[in-house]
Amino acid sequence: MKILVTGGAGFLGARLIEALLAPTANDLLPAGGTIVSADLAPCPVDDPRVVSHTGDVSDPAFIASLIDPSTTLVYHLAAVVSGQAEADFDLGMRVNFDATRTLLEACRQQAQTPRFVFASSLAVFGGPMPEQVPESLAPLPQSSYGAQKAMAELLINDYSRKGFVDGRVCRLPTISVRPGKPNAAASSFASGILREPLSGEASNCPVPLDTRLWLSSPQTVIDNLLHAARLDGQALGLRRTLNLPGISVRVSEMLDSLARVGGDAARARVGFEPDERVQRIVCSWPGDFDIERPLQLGFRVDADFDSVVKAHQRDMNR
């Protein structure tokens, strides 16, 4: 059997591949199984069970080369991030929407229906919203990235209804704290205002301190993506879309956690220079969700934000 991970060279994709290789995931990747990573760069995970294919997921020929009758599970993580998709509409449409449809069509051609786990985003929401977003709230994206993700969600639900794939749409919280360097995502600061100060570097907060964010640690997101693949489709019913659990934290509370974990000196390294482009995107996103359904389905949530920052600090010191 074969598992395909698009975006397998990225931060989240590489971590997911490492988790799939662990003995605890042998129900998803049994002995003799293979993981195929598809990305613009080679997968950094060095393991004989990982086959790395480099190419553009918006190229139909490349997609066709990745799927065959042995493909039982697809994780579709490849995407153009929010800020980049807003700046380059055509690129965002080609990668975030057109490539998703091409991948779904390749799955549709297989005799065995693959499970299809899609990494969506809370950016599908926008406009007037209640303080806490219920499961039933309809998407109203206020960014091109959010619109592209929302369109892909509808496709996956319909392909699942038709029996072409066994889909699970996971609307990921903003992941914090991401290791590495800042990227073009509008939410990049949600890691930068913690990661850089803990490393002794200055960082900027581009949004107001009372901005509320919906956050999850990297490990919890990985655990929940694994759980999504294990779920019986019958348990999801007609609604294949899930708002994955997160914790609702104001930026001021994030900085309080930074001070408690890293000290006042780390907190003092955060400056405040507003960025209208970032605010326009990020401040349109909801900051709190009703997660009763995903918790009932067995998804997990971080205990609190201090524990998230401490986990990142431990990873830094390894």
Neighbours of 211 (CB within 10 A): 20
Distance of CA 88 to the CA centre of its chain: 20
What digits encode the pLDDT tens for the residues 213-257? 999 999 999 999 999 999 999 899 889 999 999 999 999 999 999
What digits encode the pLDDT tens for the residues 74-99? 999 999 998 899 999 999 999 999 99
Which one from 75, 116, 118, 145 is the annotated catalytic residue?
A: 145
* pTM value surpassing 0.85: yes
Give me the chain's average pLDDT, please: 95
What digits encode the pLDDT tens for the residues 156-197? 999 999 999 999 999 999 999 998 888 878 899 999 999 999
Question: Exposure of 152 by Cβ count < 10 A (0-12 exposed, 13-18 middle, 19+ buried)?
Answer: buried
Q: Is 145 a catalytic residue?
A: yes
Rg, Å, the chain Cα set: 19
Q: What is the pLDDT of residue 182?
A: 83
Structural domains for the chain: 2-175+216-243 (3.40.50.720), 186-213+247-287+303-316 (3.90.25.10)
**Token pair in block for residue 46:** 């060095």
Q: What is the pLDDT of residue 183?
A: 83
Nearest Cα to 250, choosing from 278, 276, 281, 213?
Answer: 213
* CA 164 – CA 158 distance, rounded (Å): 9
* CA 269 – CA 49 distance, rounded (Å): 43
Query: What residue has token string 């581009």?
Result: 206
* CA 228 – CA 120 distance, rounded (Å): 13
